[in-house]
A and B are shown apart, each in its own frame.
Chain A
Amino acid sequence: MMQGSFSSMREAMGKELARLGELHQDLLVLTADVGDSTRASYFREKYPERYFNVGIAEQHLVDFAAGLAAAGKKPVVVNFAMFLMRAWEQMRNTVARMNLDVKFFATHSGYSDSGDGSSHQSLEDIALTRVLPNFAVVVPADPIELVKALPEILAHRGPVYMRTGRDYSPPITAGLEYEFKLGKAQVLREGDDVSIVGAGVVLWDALLAAEELRKMGVGATVINVSTVKPMDEALIEYYARKTGRIVTVEEHSVIGGIGSAVSEVIVKRYPVPMRFVGASTFGRSAKSQRELLDYYGINSSSIVKAAMEVVG
């Protein structure tokens, strides 16, 4: 655990998509003029005839992809998370309503577009997509998990929203052997006193926090819910019973995101005290994503604090 080096989510996504283009002849990649920034361009280089830049037109992007899916193709829409939300209504009224096989690979989520500031940072996309009927929502922890997840996501029939960051990506699942399955969570570390549940790059801070807590005599389980929807309810319930307390952590608004999704499971199956670490307002510009995570208190010290509060 916690070996390997930091890498880039968008790089991994772009390369893997280009690789998978060979296996899936019907796979099409579509974007709204952010092919280079998202690395969808790697697919364009290999399969120009199966790549569409529709221009800076996200609403059209989503419905054009929906039409291609209706005609039996396998479209993957690649765009910044924030600007896909501009077409949320198209995702709802065309894709979700007709349950079409369109995949959404959203890069630059959370604070990962650190320099561009709040207009480009997406802290609402998990809430907005998980509320859509028929949609699955996936937040890979790191490039290794992303590569595991992609074939499974493409094999799934129906809309999937996959959220990735830009370049900051700590090695969270390096060295772990497991098969990625939609709806399956992974335990990254076991402990008896508190469960820390999250997804994406913040799991790195969860693991650092667990190490801190160990030194303080508190055992923490760290759970990776990379499939935010459908949520692995059985596993969450098991650890709620086992540890009796839950802290959730996310690079997203604490309203409607992963914390909310976990609490929906908990109140239904086995209520335990919870704390929520995440964003509560818009972001701002900074020199790095790491700076922003620390600035907004989405880091290991906040997780330790929340865990100690709930352990009491």
Chain B
Amino acid sequence: MERADAKPISLEELNKLREVAERARKNVIRMLFYDQSIHVGSSLSSIEILTTLVFKYQRMAESHLDRDWLILSKGHAAPALYAVLAEKGVIKESELWKIQSIDGVLQGHPETFIPGVDMSTGSLGQGLSFGLGVAKGIKMSGRNGRVFVIMGDGEQDEGQVWESFTQKVARELDNILVFIELNGFQLDGDVESIKPKAFLQAVWRDAGWNTLSCDGHDFASIVAAIEEAQKARAPTVIFASTLRGKGFKPIENSKYQRSSPDDARKFLINA
């Protein structure tokens, strides 16, 4: 007989996550009114994954060794992180409208002086190394904290990513969960024409990682993958198919990071 709690997510919970993500998505697009240089496309690619981690899985605790760390290695998606943290009440919503302002808290890329930010990022390829260090430090102290790392597919170009996931220590950790978003674009164009990534999953698997896939915009799919990762008790990487600019038609599934405030206004009125 199936247990009542066997379903990883209830309809009620699903709807709640959807509402949070929808508000966060609109707030990222709204940030375009206040700063036209933010990376909207990359941010919208990450909204559902961030929402799931922050609202369903991330455990808080007094000690930094017993709580869960969230590392946005693709730091240019900072607006998504800020918008989700604002939904959580960690960041004041009014701060969102001061993004990248000299008198605001929210920087163009994450900094640890921003509430809810666990690693200063912005330079690609560094989040996993740091995350592995934190995860190992937690294990060495016999504590329970976990580490979530979010990377992009373009970010996989960095040699440091290879340096980190091939380390022997990485294969011994069961308290690290990595998301690699496959939105198919990097700064100058599509991933396929610059550095194809079709081989990635096989490489990570052969290096000893538990590899899973999900639809990075579908909560049920994200949750199912995380649940499976937890059962595996092994370092896990989830390859998440996403769309750059997801939900914002003027730039969806394109290399474009941003659109005009006018486009954003029209979109938000009709949305």
Partners in one complex: yes
| Chain A interfacial positions (CB closer than 8 Å to B) | 52, 54-55, 57, 59-60, 62-73, 75, 89-90, 93-94, 97-98
18 example contacts (A-B, Cβ-Cβ < 8 A) are as follows A52-B169, A62-B129, A63-B126, A63-B160, A64-B129, A65-B133, A67-B132, A70-B64, A70-B134, A71-B136, A71-B140, A72-B141, A75-B133, A93-B123, A93-B126, A94-B120, A94-B126, A98-B119
Residues of B within 8 A of A65 (CB): 133
**Closest beta carbon of chain A to B123's beta carbon, Å:** 4
Residues of B within 8 A of A94 (CB): 119-120, 126, 130
Closest residue on chain B to residue A71 by CB atoms: B137
In the bound assembly, the distance between CA atoms of A60 and B129 in angstroms comes to 5
Closest residue on chain A to residue B147 by CB atoms: A67
Is B126 within 8 A of A73, CB to CB? Answer: no
Name the prevailing secondary structure of the A interface residues: helix
Closest residue on chain B to residue A56 by CB atoms: B163
Within 8 Å of chain A (Cβ to Cβ): is B207?
Answer: no
**Closest beta carbon of chain A to B183's beta carbon, Å:** 24
> Looking at the complex, which one of A55, A62, A67 makes contact with B131 (CB distance below 8 Å)?
A67
Interface residues on B, range: 20 to 34
Tell which of A60, A65, A68, A73 has the most Cβ of chain B within 10 Å.
A60
| Chain B interfacial positions (CB closer than 8 Å to A) | 64-65, 111-112, 118-120, 122-123, 125-126, 129-138, 140-141, 159-160, 163-164, 166-167, 169
In the bound assembly, the distance between CA atoms of A59 and B167 in angstroms comes to 12
In the bound assembly, the distance between CA atoms of A92 and B131 in angstroms comes to 17
Is A66 within 8 A of B130, CB to CB? Answer: yes
In the bound assembly, the distance between CA atoms of A71 and B135 in angstroms comes to 8
Is A70 within 8 A of B163, CB to CB? Answer: no
Residues of B within 8 A of A60 (CB): 129, 160, 163-164, 167
Tell which of B64, B138, B160 has the most Cβ of chain A within 10 Å.
B160
In the bound assembly, the distance between CA atoms of A93 and B166 in angstroms comes to 22
Residues of A within 8 A of B138 (CB): 71
